[in-house]
Structure 1
């Protein structure tokens, strides 16, 4: 089967590095276009204890959130640049995307809008209680994506 457009979802984990390797090799053998994507988490506002007056600290909280988002975006850009350099050893058809929001939904929405033929992603390997409580992004993408999904371990 020919996959014209392949999306590789990267989060910096060992599993996503394996997904990058597999997806890049697949692109080389099939001539696929690669999109490397990293999802920035939605900003989390810090919670403070009893008696905290929100109005008094609103500016500093907003600054903390902006600083964290800037740092996370920088990390995501570095991750994608390293991945792009790796992928370019296999194919010249590589682009990168920073997505924002809930990871599984962002990946599935991007794939749908951009007519992605295959999503390749790693499994973080959550086990036991963590998997039951948190679920996993790969499980959610497998469930929600409208195209085939390949999960590497």
Structure 2
């Protein structure tokens, strides 16, 4: 069964790199486009620093949280561009996207909105800002419970 749209949730962990390599291998068969999605988790900070406010009927987050999100996003833009360049020789369409929120929810929503028919992801990834805290497969488990497409979990 050929896959027409492949999603790789990517957090720079060793297993997400392996998942991307597997996705490229699968994509090479039918030249299926690959979507690399990086999700920046919400940053847990004391309430004083992380408050969300409603100003002029628009939700705004504190300047500190906004600054941290922007710094992480800017670093990931460079990393994802390098990843795209690494696999450019395979002549596969690779699109990257960065979102902020709960990783499992964002992955599930992205899958539905973009008609993804295969997700290739690591069984364990980084968690939080530094990636020092790992939670055994919680994102992979949540995604597996929610999506209606094929899911390949790489170990």
Larger radius of gyration: 1
Q: Are 2:85 and 1:85 aligned?
A: yes
Pairs within 5 Å for 1:134-153 = 136-153=138-155
RMSD (CA atoms): 2.3
Query: 1:10 corresponds to which residue?
Result: 10
SS for the counterpart of 1:111 is helix
The DSSP-based 3-state class of the residue aligned with 1:37 is: strand
Q: What is the deviation of 1:103?
A: 0.3
Deviations 1:5-49 (A, max 9, x none): 00111001000000011101111122111111101112433357x
Q: Cα distance, 1:79 vs. partner?
A: 2.6
Greater share of strand:
2
2: CA distance, partners of 1:77 / 1:152: 24
Residue ranges of structure 1 left out of the alignment (5+ in a row): 49-53, 55-60
In 2 relative to 1, CA 32–99 (structure 1 residues): closer, same or farther, beyond 3 Å? same
In the alignment, which residue of structure 2 is the partner of 1:102?
A: 102
Contact preservation (8 Å) 2:27, 2:92: no
Structure 2: 5+ residue stretches without partners:
52-60, 127-133
TM-score (norm 1): 0.79
More helix by share: 1
> In 1, are the aligned partners of 2:28 and 2:90 still within 8 Å (CA)?
yes
Runs of 4+ in 1 over 4 A off after TM superposition: none
